[in-house]
Structure 1
Amino acid sequence: MRKLKITFILLSLLIGSATLMGQVTTSTLTGKITETDGQPLPGATIIATHVPSGTLYGATSNTQGLYSIQGMRPGGPYTVNVTFIGYSTQSYTEITLLLGENTTLNSTMATTTTEMTEVTVIGYATSKFSTTQTGAVTNISNTQIANMPTVSRSIIDVTRLSPYGGNGMSFVGSDGRTANFTVDGANFNNNFGLSSALPGGGNPISIEAIEELQVVIAPYDVRQTNFIGGGVNAITKSGTNTFKASAYTYHRNENMRGDAVNGMQIAGAREVDRNTTYGLTFGGPIIKNKLFLFVNGEMAKTPTIVNRWRASTDGVADADNYISRTTLSDLQTVSDYVESKYGYGTGSFTNFPADENNYKLLARLDWNISDKHRLALRYNYTKNLYWNPANASSMDGGTRMSEARFSQASMSYANSMYSMNNLVHSFSFDLNSRLSDNVSNQFLATFSKLDDLRGSTSDEFPFIDILKDGQAYLSLGYELFTWNNAVHNNVWNIKDELTRYVGSHKIVGGVAYEYKMADNAYMRNGTGYYRYTSLDDFLSEGTPEIVNLTYGYDGESNPAARIRSNKIGVYGQDDWSVAANFKLSYGLRIDGLFFDNNDLMTNKAIYDLDYDGRHIDTGKWPAANLIFSPRIGFVWDTFGDKSLKVRGGTGLFSGNLPLVFFT
């Protein structure tokens, strides 16, 4: 029930490579402190200050002169001071840390026999060659996001900066539904998988709220999971010690679009197509150096219509001008008839407004509880609404028509359209703790509620097709695939990860738990379906040629196919600095995926079938096996001067199948 991928890269020369940790939200600073003769200097104090917020991070070099600071805020700039009694202080400024990466900052300390002096290195260049990661990754900064031309202002536009992407959530040619997208560690995937579009209408979070993105393809790190082709991780902006606010608007319309190719005019190229986005951001300190707030709100409006077809006055179709053969008089007759006989309002047959709306809200709190404990809380809300015409021609119980219900042959009413309501609620709780100079811990808990619901302005009423000359002619009623049509998806993720430094080894161990629930509610023909062979038959209460009605089992008014799964994972890894210019990472991840059989029912008729002594029980999911994912990777600074790095590795990766396959 899972797909597996083995990726092998041997001696791949990557400029700008790194790796993404599973549900990554922080960065790491490591290095070695030595004396001028190259000998390690134990006991040196390293203090890193996040300049915008005043947040302090500290460490002490060990007996081999090595130090590591985990759980740091990505970005910067940082200043780093290295001190030791009897040695000149070394200071580094303008250091920027990349999301999920281990940035190396080495320092050489010189002795002083007189007064204490300080050596300042200004503008220490943090680059991909300063990192010690082993896989293929693209980091995209806030500056790059701001400078990136984008029409839709969506995440998938920005990920095209990665050479491995370029087609939505599809990376290196894989199905986009098997990718993994997280925001501050929270699941933002299209877990149900009817398409590869992201939740919230494909744009679940404003790019104005994004601090940094990372696109990962082949990380040889056991902390990374839940993807096959590629993964995208995003972190949101945080407040700082400086109050900052912005208001913005973006507008596009049809006049900004070209309408000719090689001097030839393109018909319809400048049909009305407008979108306006309004938004604001605000951030600052609640308590200076202690507690910070960041909020972002955004609203987008797109005036549009879902149907360009119009009824005729003479029953003659003109497809070039979107004139249907269905007459205005027939539409009026049917509308008046069902109103007087059944009290049902069909809605307009001349006006089909369907404005699209998108609302986003994000709020984040960062709390420096103490010098050793830091907490980040984030809430994200997205509501997206758009409209569609009635299904083109699908139905049950007979031959579908070749012409659509809105076409040169047929017309329908405004109340037969349906809306798509995409909702996102997401929370994250991220606690990073430094338990000692050599031990740190991250506890991360996230919850995502992702809902896609169909809606209608129609009252409860059957959907009716009326034919003319054996072809679609007129349709009305509650859209036949919309009644009780919704997908509800809840995802919990909890992980606890401990990191310990022992000499030249960084030992990482963790446990992870993921709960997923998906409800697929779908009642085609839920309000009933009728098809008449002529308008006269309908108006005279003749016998329809097709009748359909769907109802819930055991009297259930809103039946849904449900699937629930529990995934438990444990992992361990050793990052070994074999030499000053060679790092080796190796580890093992073990995941177990377990399904809830209470969501199923045994079909006795199927169970009684004998397949050479084997019986199929539809009341049980197939047993899941444990998944073992060993990985090994290396990075080699070939000449020891960071001018050429060779990275490579091999590993086993696994990703979830779309839940729609189960329901």
Structure 2
Amino acid sequence: MLRPIPSIERGGPMRILSSRVAASVGAVACALSLATPAAAQTGSGRLSGLVEDATGALVPGASVVAVHEPTGVRHDTVTTASGQFVFPSLPVGPYTVSGTLSGFKTRTVTGNQLTVGADLSIILVLEPGNVQETVTVAAEAPLVQTTESSVSTLVSEKAIVTLPLNGRNPLHLIGLVPGVAGHSSEATSSSGTATHYVNGDRGRGITTTQDGIDISDPVIPRGELTNAPVNPEALQEFRVITSNAKAEYGRSAGGQVELVTKSGTNEVRGTIYEFLRNTAFDSNSYFNELQGIPKEVLRRNQFGLSLGGPIRRDKAFFFVNYEGQRRTQETSNVVIVPTDALRRGQFRFVTAPCSGQTAAQNRPGCVDAQGNPLVPVSSYDLAANDPRGIGLDRVIQNETLKFLPLPNDFSVGTASTPRAIAGTRPPTRPWTR
């Protein structure tokens, strides 16, 4: 809706802008005047309802005020000729809604909990009396959503804070929503990733927005994988729409995830936290024990703080959050490495079938646990038979192969290049969000 901009008169000299600057200012002003709020794009909710008298008749022209209880920010509107009022885009949180009209008592309903992406509808009943008299009642949460047909689930701040999160990614909680199936084994793996399937989609059809901004991964929008890290300490709540999404949503055929971040309030609140994982608290895995490999080194510290409060009470607020991560991790990898003979340029191959075979083929069963051949073999010395007489590459021999361990498992691979199990340790990397 377009609204006229009131003129402002100020004393003092006036400066004339150049035509280029004036045109730029005019374009910006035009863009701002044409911008209208969209509830689905701002991480907000919609509050609407009716004002009636004691007989059930609709009351037009009544003043309706919605006050955000944590911040004291006030929003005003007037009922239409049919007694309706609407606040199309409000920040989430509890609201106190009041209705007043001359000749009626003021009706106040407290604790109206508005959540992200929700359409909260209330009815204010005005009783005859003095406008200075106030009737205050506590709101009751509706049991059934009657204003729209979409199917959704709200993940509250309490669930985000209290439920365990591997890697502290709150979007893993999408897997708890009815209609969503996910790989829980992936969510508990070392990578801490998961794929979610909403009502049978292929696992990459989820659109995720944060405060109305699309943060979905542009390649694989699978919900928990986003362009921007999502910090649970900075997240107030989020809603997962699994079916019958309204026309204002788009892009993906699967679910819609709406995140809303925290804001400062009239009270100063903050948290300081650290989450620790260390090798000293872990046991070795079954497969490492089977191969005689010690447990991998893992030292991970996730720490941070958040703080919010008022800049000017009931007017302006601040909220800041910092999270850092320090991690040193060692993982066991199965790789193919050359034997000592192969490093010297000696290729060997079987000349007779191995056990259970009808033809001579290099197979793990052709050698014993120490790599000794169980069938006749032949070899070829590459260095000795080099027609140019150059021999083996010295850089490869002296600089590259020294980083590869010798094989320690001959149960898989070939007779010339058996398998090795080696450990690698990436450098410690700081990570901040």
Q: TM-score range with shorter-chain normalisation?
A: 0.5 to 0.7
Q: What TM-score do the two structures reach when normalised by structure 2?
A: 0.64
Alignment of 1:533-548 (within 5 A): none
SS in 2 for 1:160: helix
2:3 is aligned to none
2:74 is aligned to 56
CA distance in 1, matches of 2:177, 2:46: 22
Q: 2:395 aligns with which of 338, 345, 357?
A: 338
SS in 2 for 1:143: helix
2:256 is aligned to 231
Q: CA deviation at 1:283?
A: 1.5
1:527 is aligned to none
Which structure is higher in helix share?
Answer: 2
- 1:393-442 CA distance string (max 9 Å, x none): xxxxxxxx967xx972598999xx99999999xxxxxxxxxxxxxxxxxx
Q: CA deviation at 1:287?
A: 3.0
Matched residue type, 1:287? R
2:199 is aligned to 172
Matched residue type, 2:211? D
- 1:493-537 CA distance string (max 9 Å, x none): xxxxxxxxxxxxxxxxxxxxxxxxxxxxxxxxxxxxxxxxxxxxx
CA distance in 1, matches of 2:370, 2:72: 66
1:502 is aligned to none
Q: CA deviation at 1:128?
A: 5.2
Alignment of 1:572-611 (within 5 A): none
Q: CA deviation at 1:314?
A: 7.3
Q: Does 1:121 align with 2:137?
A: yes
Could you tell me which runs of 5 or more consecutive residues in structure 1 were left unpaired when the two chains were aligned.
1-19, 326-335, 352-400, 425-663
SS in 1 for 2:144: helix
- Asked whether the 8 Å contact 1:101–1:131 carries over to 2, the reply is no
Alignment of 1:387-402 (within 5 A): none
1:367 is aligned to none
Question: Alignment length, in residue pairs?
Answer: 329
Q: 1:278 aligns with which of 303, 311, 316?
A: 303
SS in 2 for 1:182: strand
Matched residue type, 2:272? A
CA distance in 2, matches of 1:323, 1:204: 48
- 1:514-572 CA distance string (max 9 Å, x none): xxxxxxxxxxxxxxxxxxxxxxxxxxxxxxxxxxxxxxxxxxxxxxxxxxxxxxxxxxx
SS in 1 for 2:168: coil
- Asked whether the 8 Å contact 1:50–1:78 carries over to 2, the reply is yes
Of 124-133 and 280-289, deviating more is 124-133
Q: CA deviation at 1:175?
A: 2.0
**Structure 1 residues 266 and 214, CA gap change in structure 2 (3 angstroms):** farther
1:588 is aligned to none
**Structure 1 residues 177 and 260, CA gap change in structure 2 (3 angstroms):** closer
CA distance in 2, matches of 1:72, 1:296: 23
2:209 is aligned to 182
Q: What TM-score do the two structures reach when normalised by structure 1?
A: 0.43
- Asked whether the 8 Å contact 1:188–1:204 carries over to 2, the reply is no
Q: CA deviation at 1:125?
A: 2.3
Alignment of 1:264-663 (within 5 A): 271-307=296-332, 337-338=394-395, 349=403, 408=419
CA distance in 2, matches of 1:25, 1:225: 15
CA distance in 1, matches of 2:430, 2:222: 16
Q: Does 1:206 align with 2:223?
A: no
CA distance in 2, matches of 1:234, 1:156: 10
Q: CA deviation at 1:244?
A: 2.0
**Structure 1 residues 220 and 181, CA gap change in structure 2 (3 angstroms):** closer
CA distance in 2, matches of 1:134, 1:58: 28
Matched residue type, 1:65? G
SS in 1 for 2:329: coil
**Structure 1 residues 140 and 29, CA gap change in structure 2 (3 angstroms):** same
2:243 is aligned to 218
Q: CA deviation at 1:307?
A: 4.7
1:102 is aligned to 119
- Asked whether the 8 Å contact 1:103–1:131 carries over to 2, the reply is no
CA distance in 2, matches of 1:171, 1:101: 20
- Asked whether the 8 Å contact 1:179–1:231 carries over to 2, the reply is yes
- 1:442-480 CA distance string (max 9 Å, x none): xxxxxxxxxxxxxxxxxxxxxxxxxxxxxxxxxxxxxxx
SS in 2 for 1:145: helix
- Asked whether the 8 Å contact 1:255–1:270 carries over to 2, the reply is no
- 1:313-350 CA distance string (max 9 Å, x none): 9779x9xxx9999xxxxxxxxxx942999xxx659838
CA distance in 2, matches of 1:94, 1:194: 36
CA distance in 2, matches of 1:38, 1:346: 86
**Structure 1 residues 323 and 153, CA gap change in structure 2 (3 angstroms):** farther
1:240 is aligned to 265
Q: Does 1:89 align with 2:106?
A: yes
Matched residue type, 1:408? R
Matched residue type, 2:57? Q
SS in 2 for 1:281: strand
- Asked whether the 8 Å contact 2:117–2:258 carries over to 1, the reply is no
Q: CA deviation at 1:291?
A: 2.4
RMSD over equivalenced CA pairs, Å: 4.5
**Structure 1 residues 195 and 423, CA gap change in structure 2 (3 angstroms):** farther
Matched residue type, 1:81? S
Matched residue type, 2:83? G
Matched residue type, 1:139? L
1:580 is aligned to none
- 1:279-312 CA distance string (max 9 Å, x none): 1112122333222221211112332124557999
Q: 1:193 aligns with which of 191, 211, 220?
A: 220
Higher RCO structure (Cα 8 Å, ≥6 apart) = 1
SS in 2 for 1:85: coil
Matched residue type, 1:136? V
- 1:85-118 CA distance string (max 9 Å, x none): 1111111222210111110110111101x68311
CA distance in 2, matches of 1:190, 1:34: 47
Matched residue type, 1:349? F
- 1:207-247 CA distance string (max 9 Å, x none): 21111111112235211111112121111111122222211
CA distance in 2, matches of 1:111, 1:120: 15
- 1:64-88 CA distance string (max 9 Å, x none): 211111210012x221111111111
- Asked whether the 8 Å contact 1:48–1:56 carries over to 2, the reply is yes
Which structure is higher in strand share?
Answer: 1
Could you tell me which runs of 5 or more consecutive residues in structure 2 were left unpaired when the two chains were aligned.
1-37, 183-194, 343-363, 373-392, 406-411
CA distance in 1, matches of 2:317, 2:370: 59
**Structure 1 residues 157 and 128, CA gap change in structure 2 (3 angstroms):** farther
**Structure 1 residues 304 and 72, CA gap change in structure 2 (3 angstroms):** same
- Asked whether the 8 Å contact 1:324–1:409 carries over to 2, the reply is no
Q: CA deviation at 1:151?
A: 2.1
SS in 2 for 1:106: strand
Pair member with larger Rg: 2
CA distance in 1, matches of 2:370, 2:171: 37
- Asked whether the 8 Å contact 2:236–2:262 carries over to 1, the reply is yes
Q: 1:43 aligns with which of 61, 69, 73?
A: 61
- Asked whether the 8 Å contact 1:253–1:275 carries over to 2, the reply is yes
Q: CA deviation at 1:163?
A: 0.8
